[in-house]
Amino acid sequence: MRFPVKKFFSYYKPYVMVFLSVLACTFVVSALTLVFPLLVRYVTKDILEGNLFTALQEVYWMGGLMLVLVIVQNIANFYADYKGHEIGARMERDMRSELFAHMQKLSFRFYDKEKTGKLMSRLTNDLYTLAELYHHGPEDYLKYFIRFVGAFVILFMINASLTMAVFCFLPILMLFSVYFNKMLNRALTRNKERIADVNAQVEDSLSGIRVVKSFANEYVEIEKFNRENNRFLESRKNTYKAEAYFYNSVETIIQCITITVIIFGSANIVNQTLDLADLITFLLYINFMMEPIQRLTQMSTLLQEGITGFQRFMELMAVKPDIENKRDALAISEVLGEIEFQQVSFRYEEQLDDIFVNLSMTVHPGEYVALVGPSGAGKTTLCSLIPRFYDVTGGDVYLDGLNVRDIDLQSLRDKIGIVQQDVYLFAGTVMENIRYGKPAASDEEIIMAAKQANAHDFIMGLPNGYDSELGQRGINLSGGQKQRISIARVFLKNPPVLILDEATSALDNESENIVKESLESLAKGRTTIVIAHRLSTIRNAERIIVLTKDGIAEQGTHKELLARNGAYAHLYAMQFDMVASLN
């Protein structure tokens, strides 16, 4: 993957004027840094070796000038430091927002493969190191470039031969830099991969903490975490080894440079081609010229971490949503609710088997249809094709005669309400979670929706009513209560098409009866497809469709299907025998 230079620098655009002012202040700070050794040289060589009767006054003047320069330098340095970091943080914020918005567009197929912890790592760790590069990168490189070039020019003017002797060491430094930069880049890429694995393991273990404790498997999770943590440690050790090689090699060469300056400089003093004041100045400027090389390790690490973070950012940004709007997608307003599957085939991946092949069926406007069948027959998958959570691999799905692929995605999904078995409640209040069904809804509309879902009474019994905090994933509520809040969301959304995906299968009998009443109220006047696990809950369905791995086995009312003594009757008898044995 080629590094996208233009895209990398595009994030400076909103802050270009402030950024240029930061670079200007950096230039001032670096230039003034170069002035101080010259002032010291002027004092030691010109003032103190001149007329001592007037020397003290001149020294005072030079001291005052140095003080003014220190004040200017520190003001400029403060501005560059504060505003530079602020720009980096703003750019990090912008990129994180862009990446999160992009992730919201990606389909279920993407999230079926990716781990949440790894995605979180890309949103946090990667972009933090990138923000440091955006701020410190240009600032540090400008600062040390000015110091290096300025020091070289001044040293060359003081003693050209000694300066060239110092420069003989630079090719060696360049070779070390190129070699160890490649090594660091590989090590830092592994670091980011390993910390993403650690995050994924943490997210997985903590999300399932109740399962962990119910099986007393804490030691299993600790072992898994330690395994990932140790892999991260190994990758960090490799990074530190590369840094240590680089840093100590550079330090050795710099020490050789200092020794060279002292030996050759002393020889020049003996030969009277250099005086002591110039040698002192030379040593001061050598430090300025070598400082960029000394900092090369940190700058290289910063550069490599930032570039690696940006490449990982771009990798994720380059993932195209496999479900997108057509350019001329239609926005729909009024929906009757007719759903038609024409010769539909579907498989999750090219290398996997088809879930169903050439399946056709129609659900009429306002009809209450139940989908039943064994696990793995594709009931949930079939319903997921209507709001285009997945796209068909063959055939077409229609809503009111319009191919769903021709309909604007938001417009399509606005017209479909889904109540799932596994209810997800967000961190926040009851009011905020119900409002998720219609973000612009008033409090009165939310309360009405809760009443329709038989949720108002238990909500008012909570410590703060509708303002009660639900805890992570609604942990403070029972299964039936969580389900009724999810039903209230759909009441608030008020969609013409309703999909109930085994919405009561995980509930006890008492909760099931309350939720069932809420669902029946919700289904009135809407096209409703119920995915049923408990066949006793869909006896009154207008039509029951039996889906098997071979497609639609049969369809009809509860009585009709029992009378045929086919697949439905067999499923019903199995459940009846199971219930009887439990009783």
How many Cα atoms sit within 13 Å of 394 on the Cβ side?
A: 13
- Assigned token pair, 438: 């219609």
Alpha carbon of residue 322 to chain centroid:
19
> What is the arrangement of strands in the sheet containing 543-548, beginning at the earlier edge strand?
416-420, 497-501, 527-531, 368-372, 543-548, 551-556
Quick one: 400 and 427 in the same domain? Answer: no
Quick one: 346 and 435 in the same domain? Answer: no
Residue 223 to residue 230: CA distance in whole angstroms: 10
Q: What pLDDT score does 580 carry?
A: 46
Quick one: 46 and 31 in the same domain? Answer: yes
**173 SS3 class:** helix
How many Cα atoms sit within 13 Å of 373 on the Cβ side?
A: 24
Give a yes or no: residue 322 inside a domain: no
Output b/e per residue, 55-83; b: 16+ Cβ within 10 A: eeebeeeeeeebeeeeeebeebbebbbeb
Quick one: 180 and 226 in the same domain? Answer: yes
- 293, 317, 341 — which closes off a domain? 317
Q: What pLDDT score does 582 carry?
A: 47
Range of the domain at 444: 423-494
- Considering its fold, how many domains does the chain have in total? 3
Quick one: 159 and 25 in the same domain? Answer: yes
Identify whether the C-beta of residue 401 lies closer than 8 Å to the C-beta of residue 439: no
**357 SS3 class:** strand
Quick one: 445 and 296 in the same domain? Answer: no
Helix, strand counts (H, E) of the chain: 21, 10
Residue 398 to residue 130: CA distance in whole angstroms: 46
- Mean pLDDT, the chain, integer: 83
Quick one: 292 and 386 in the same domain? Answer: no
474 φ/ψ sector (left φ>0, alpha ψ -120 to 50, else beta): left
CATH of the domain at 529: 3.40.50.300
Quick one: 234 and 360 in the same domain? Answer: no
Residue 356 to residue 551: CA distance in whole angstroms: 6
Task: Write down the H helix ranges in 474-557.
Answer: 479-493, 509-523
* Residues 6 or more apart in contact with residue 412 via CB below 8 angstroms: 332, 387, 388, 399, 404
Quick one: 176 and 255 in the same domain? Answer: yes
Q: What pLDDT score does 215 carry?
A: 64
- Burial of residue 252 (CB within 10 Å: 0-12, 13-18, 19+) is exposed
Identify whether the C-beta of residue 323 lies closer than 8 Å to the C-beta of residue 299: no
Q: What pLDDT score does 543 carry?
A: 92
Cα 581 to Cα 173, 214, 575, 576, 577, distances in angstroms: 81, 27, 10, 9, 6
- 465, 494, 523 — which closes off a domain? 494
Q: What pLDDT score does 402 carry?
A: 93
Cα 290 to Cα 60, 165, 252, 301, 318, distances in angstroms: 31, 14, 12, 18, 41
> What is the arrangement of strands in the sheet containing 339-346, beginning at the earlier edge strand?
356-363, 339-346, 394-399, 402-403
Quick one: 454 and 473 in the same domain? Answer: yes
- Assigned token pair, 360: 């056709």
CATH of the domain at 232: 1.20.1560.10
Give a yes or no: residue 323 inside a domain: no
Cα 307 to Cα 139, 174, 189, 210, distances in angstroms: 16, 20, 10, 40
Instruction: Give the DSSP per-residue string, 284-343.
Output: HHHHHHHHHHHTHHHHHHHHHHHHHHHHHHHHHHTPPPSS---TTPBP-------EEEEE
In 10 A of CB 2, how many CB atoms? 4
Please say whether the dihedral angle defined by the alpha carbons of residues 316, 320, 323 and 328, taken in this order, is positive or negative: positive
Identify the bridge partners of residue 64 per DSSP, sorted by sequence position.
Answer: none
Quick one: 402 and 427 in the same domain? Answer: no
Q: What pLDDT score does 210 carry?
A: 62
Phi, psi at 372, each rounded to 5°: -130, 165
Quick one: 368 and 471 in the same domain? Answer: no
Which residues of the chain register pLDDT less than 50?
579-580, 582-583
Identify whether the C-beta of residue 385 lies closer than 8 Å to the C-beta of residue 397: yes
- 436, 470, 494 — which closes off a domain? 494
Give a yes or no: residue 324 inside a domain: no
Identify whether the C-beta of residue 572 lies closer than 8 Å to the C-beta of residue 535: yes
- Assigned token pair, 70: 């220190």
Identify whether the C-beta of residue 15 lies closer than 8 Å to the C-beta of residue 90: yes
